[in-house]
Amino acid sequence: MSIESNVRRILKELPPGVLLEAAAKGRSLEEVRGAIRAGVGIIGENYVQEAEPLVSAIGHTVKWHFIGHLQKNKVPQAVRIFDLVESVDSQELARTVDHHCARYEREMAVLVEINSGREKQKSGVMPEKAEELIRILATLRYIKVKGLMTLGPHFEDPELLRPYFAATRALWEELRSLSLERVELEYLSMGMTDSYRVAIEEGANLVRIGTGIFGPRDK
Ligand SMILES: *Cc1c(COP(=O)(O)O)cnc(C)c1O
């Protein structure tokens, strides 16, 4: 299956209102261009240095989302190239992003990453700490909270992820009902190649798909 036919097939399958993001770690410029030709409008990148040449070549005809672990020393480059950071999980990181955005007087859209599995070694804020974090982010001049993101624990069977997706959706709804000022919880980013169908059933409106578009990594 070609990249373009994979994208078309997935786009046809997605219900209205669900956005497709191509998770492009380790993929070449030509592969990413193929996904865009077939209709992908959002590219997810895990590494700033890998994204830089792609953003230079392709430009902002598509949206660039950062979906990896953002190291503080990479924030200066990140704020220049990304449209949205999906993995904000601490006020320290958000304050660093805010500080660097101030230099360009540009806002950065962010999603708050939720550690829905409450796994010690995993990134993301604990679900019960999300409200407190979002209230702090809302005070930062150049940060615009746009939603939640979660990975969930790793399972072979995507059905096992369902309760984690459901809990993150419930948290998203609960936070939305607070109508916090300067906070627009528009996006709920959940689901990857093996789990996006379950994630959509549980309310995801942004799915991050790598393998299902580009084929297996480590070819
Ligand atoms: C790699 C990655 C994906 C996509 O994973 P696939 O299983 O290849 O679809 C989604 N989200 C994040 C954060 C990733 O790093």
pLDDT digits (tens, 9 = 90+) for 22-77: 999 999 999 999 999 999 999 999 999 999 999 999 999 999 999 999 999 999 99
Residue 217 confidence class, pLDDT cut points 50, 70, 90: confident
Average pLDDT over the chain reads 97
8 A C-beta contact, residue 199 and residue 12 = no
Distance separating alpha carbons of residues 159 and 156, to the nearest angstrom: 9
Q: Which of 42, 122, 208, 214 to mutate to test the pocket of ligand 1 (most atoms within 8 A of CB)?
A: 208
**Paired strand residues for 148:** 112, 188
Q: Which of 189, 192, 193 to mutate to test the pocket of ligand 1 (most atoms within 8 A of CB)?
A: 192
Res 90 pLDDT > 80: yes
Residues 75, 179, 132, CA angle at the centre, nearest 5°? 50
pTM of the complete model: 0.97
Residue that the structure tokens 């480059």 belong to: 77
Average pLDDT over every residue of 138-162: 97
8 A C-beta contact, residue 205 and residue 182 = no
Distance separating alpha carbons of residues 106 and 211, to the nearest angstrom: 33
For residues 181-208, one letter each, b for 16 or more C-beta atoms within 10 angstroms of the residue's C-beta and e for the rest, the string is eebebebbbbbbbbbbebbbebbbbbbb
Per DSSP, the chain holds a count of helices (H) and strands (E) of: 9, 8
Q: Residues near ligand 1 with C-beta < 6 Å?
A: 23, 25, 46, 67, 151, 192-193, 208-212
